[in-house]
Amino acid sequence: MSTTIGYLLLEDGTVFRGRSVAAEGAAFGEAVFTTGMTGYQETVTDPSYAEQLVCFTAPMVGNYGVADTRLESEAPHARAVVMRRLGGEDWALWLAERGVVALDEVDTRALTLRLRDEGAMRAVAVADEKALAVADALERVQAQPTMEGAALVAQVSTPAPYVAETDGDVRVALVDFGAKRSIVRRLARAGAAVTVFPHVCDPDQLASYDGVLLSNGPGDPRRSSRRPRWCARSSAACPCSGSASATSCSASQPGTRP
C-alpha cells in the first residue's frame, strides 16, 4: 500500500492531508459528503456524483469488498474519494484501476463540518503533495467553474431509448437525467415494465405509458441543456425546476400535459 502523502484542498484554502491509496494525479471538482454507512461502490458509480469529490463520513470504507453487482452505472462518476480509514485493499485497487484518486487517514469529521457549515466547495484531491504544491493547486481550484449553472446531464444521460425491463403489469417511462440501475430494479420489483428515455426525449413518445418517472442527476437542474415541453409547464416540484430527487413529474398528471 502506498505511503505517499496527498491532500484535499478547498477553495477557501483549507487543507486536509491524508495517505494516497488509489490512482495518481489530481482530481478537480466539487467537494461534498455522504452520510451513508454502506454503499460506497454504489455512490462512486452514481451519475449524480459526476464531477464531485466525495467524502465518506463512515469511519471505515471498503470493508466488505467490491462486486460488479453493486455498480449503479458502467464506470465511476465521482472524481475522488476521501475516507477516514480504508477498510480493504480490494476497494483501493478497484479505484486505482479506474483512475479515481483516493485518500484515507483524512480528518473527515472536520471536513464534513466545514462543508456542512459553508456548503459544497470547489476543491482538488491531490495524490502526491510533492507533485503539486498547495499554492499552485489553490490558484487552479479558484479558476474552476462553480457547480451553479453546470449542465452535466447530457454527459450521463442515455443517448437513445432502450428497454430495461420487459415484464410488468404497468408500463413506465424513466427519463434519464442520470438514472441509477437501482431505480430500474426497484420499479421492476414493484411490477413495472421499464423503458429508459434520454433527457431530451419528445413528450409525445411518453403519452402511451402508464407512468413517467424523472430520475435525479448531476449538476444544476435549472440549467439542463433542454427542458422537455411538459417539464417547462410543470410546477417547481419537477426535477427540471430545481428538485434533485427522482419523482413523478407533475406534468404527467391530468390537466398539465400539453
User: Which whole number is the average pLDDT over 168-174?
Assistant: 96
pLDDT band with cut points at 50, 70 and 90 for residue 1: low
Which residue type is seen at 219?
G
- Residue 225 pLDDT greater than 70, yes or no: no
C-alpha cell at 94: 478497484
Q: What is the distance in angstroms between the CA of the first residue and the CA of the last residue of the chain?
A: 58
* Contacts of residue 241, Cβ cutoff 8 Å, sequence gap at least 6: 221, 222, 231, 234, 235
Decide: 159 and 46 in contact? Cβ < 8 Å: no
pLDDT band with cut points at 50, 70 and 90 for residue 222: low
Output the pLDDT for position 238: 43
CA distance 210 to 192: 10
Output the pLDDT for position 3: 73
CA distance 38 to 90: 16
Output the pLDDT for position 165: 95
Residues 100-120: tens digit of each pLDDT: 999 999 999 999 999 999 999
Output the pLDDT for position 257: 25
Weakest-pLDDT range from 60-74, 178-192, 231-245: 231-245
Output the pLDDT for position 243: 35
CATH H-level, domain 153-252: superfamily: Class I glutamine amidotransferase (GATase) domain (3.40.50.880)
Output the pLDDT for position 246: 38
Output the pLDDT for position 148: 84
Higher pLDDT, 75 or 241: 75
Residues 131-158: tens digit of each pLDDT: 999 999 999 999 999 888 888 999 999 9
CA distance 141 to 134: 10
Output the pLDDT for position 220: 77
Neighbours of 1 (CB within 10 A): 11
- Residue 65 pLDDT greater than 90, yes or no: yes
- Residue 197 pLDDT greater than 70, yes or no: yes
Q: CATH 3.40.50.880 residue ranges in the chain?
A: 153-252
Decide: 128 and 27 in contact? Cβ < 8 Å: no
Q: CATH 3.50.30.20 residue ranges in the chain?
A: 5-142
List the one residue out of 86, 121, 120 whose CA is nearest residue 3.
86
Share of the chain above pLDDT 90, in %: 79
Of all helices (H) and strands (E), which one includes residue 42?
Answer: helix 40-44
Output the pLDDT for position 150: 87
Task: Tell me which architecture the domain covering 5-142 has in CATH.
Answer: 3-Layer(bba) Sandwich (3.50)
- Residue 252 pLDDT greater than 70, yes or no: no
